[in-house]
Chains A and B, each alone.
Chain A
Amino acid sequence: MTTTEQNIDNILIPILEQVSDPEIPVLSIMDMGVVRSAVIENNMVKVQITPTYSGCPAMDVIGDDIKAALKEAGYQSEIELILAPAWTTDWITPRGRKALEDYGIAAPLGAEADKDVLLHGKRLVKCPQCGSTNTKMVSQFGSTACKAQFQCDDCQEPFDYFKCLK
Chain B
Amino acid sequence: MKQNLYNYILGIADNSLILGQRMGALTGHGPSLETDIACTNISLDLFGQVRSYYQYAAKVAGDKRTEDDIAMLRHEREYLNVLLVEQPDTDFAYTMGRQFLFDVYHFLFLTELQKSKDLTLSAIATKSLKEVSYHQRFSTDWIKRLGDGTEESNKRMQTAIDDLWTYTDELFHQTDADKEMVAEGIGVDVTTLKEAYYQKVADVLQESTLTIPESKYFQKGGKQGIHTEHMGYLLAELQYMQRAYPNMEW
Taking CB atoms, residues of chain A closer than 8 Å to B33 are 139
Interface: A104 (CB within 8 A): no
Interface: B166 (CB within 8 A): no
Please report the C-alpha to C-alpha distance between residue A86 and residue B126 in the assembled complex, in whole angstroms: 7
Cβ of A96 to closest chain B Cβ, rounded Å = 19
Taking CB atoms, residues of chain A closer than 8 Å to B119 are 84
Partner of B137, one of A86, A119, A143, A165: A119
Interface: B228 (CB within 8 A): no
Please report the C-alpha to C-alpha distance between residue A139 and residue B35 in the assembled complex, in whole angstroms: 8
Taking CB atoms, residues of chain B closer than 8 Å to A144 are 41
A55 touches B45 (CB 8 A): yes
Interface: B124 (CB within 8 A): yes
Interface: A83 (CB within 8 A): yes
Interface: B128 (CB within 8 A): yes
Interface: A13 (CB within 8 A): no
From residue 110 to 167 of chain B, which have CB atoms closer than 8 A to chain A?
119-120, 122-124, 126-128, 130-131, 134, 137-138, 141
B134 touches A54 (CB 8 A): no
A138 touches B34 (CB 8 A): yes
Please report the C-alpha to C-alpha distance between residue A86 and residue B34 in the assembled complex, in whole angstroms: 27
From residue 27 to 46 of chain B, which have CB atoms closer than 8 A to chain A?
33-34, 37-38, 41-42, 44-46
Partner of A54, one of B34, B38, B131, B141: B131
Taking CB atoms, residues of chain B closer than 8 Å to A55 are 44-49, 51
- By the criterion of a CB under 8 Å from any partner CB, how many residues of chain A are at the interface? 26
A86 touches B123 (CB 8 A): yes
Interface centre among A57, A119, A141 (most CB of B within 10 A): A141
Cβ of A89 to closest chain B Cβ, rounded Å = 10
Cβ of B100 to closest chain A Cβ, rounded Å = 14
Interface: A108 (CB within 8 A): no
Taking CB atoms, residues of chain B closer than 8 Å to A138 are 34
Q: Which bracket fits the contact residues of B? A: 20 to 34
Interface: A118 (CB within 8 A): yes
Interface: A149 (CB within 8 A): yes
| A145-B45 CB under 8 A given contacts A119-B137, A165-B130 | yes
B126 touches A84 (CB 8 A): yes
| A86-B37 CB under 8 A given contacts A53-B45, A53-B48 | no
Please report the C-alpha to C-alpha distance between residue A145 and residue B45 in the assembled complex, in whole angstroms: 7
A149 touches B48 (CB 8 A): no
B41 touches A86 (CB 8 A): no
Q: Residues 103-142 of chain A: 1 if any B CB is under 8 Å from the residue's CB, otherwise 0?
A: 0000000000000001100000000000000000011111
Cβ of B70 to closest chain A Cβ, rounded Å = 17
Interface residues, chain A, CB within 8 Å of chain B? 51, 53-57, 82-87, 118-119, 138-145, 149, 163, 165-166
Interface residues, chain B, CB within 8 Å of chain A? 33-34, 37-38, 41-42, 44-49, 51-52, 119-120, 122-124, 126-128, 130-131, 134, 137-138, 141
The 22 listed contacts between A and B (C-beta, < 8 Å) are A51-B127, A54-B49, A55-B44, A55-B45, A55-B46, A55-B49, A56-B48, A57-B44, A83-B127, A84-B119, A86-B123, A86-B126, A138-B34, A139-B34, A139-B37, A139-B38, A140-B34, A140-B141, A141-B38, A143-B37, A145-B41, A149-B34
19 extra A-B contacts, CB within 8 A, seeds A56-B48, A140-B34, A165-B130: A51-B127, A54-B45, A54-B124, A54-B128, A55-B48, A55-B49, A83-B52, A84-B119, A84-B123, A85-B126, A140-B134, A141-B38, A144-B41, A145-B44, A145-B45, A149-B34, A149-B37, A163-B134, A166-B130
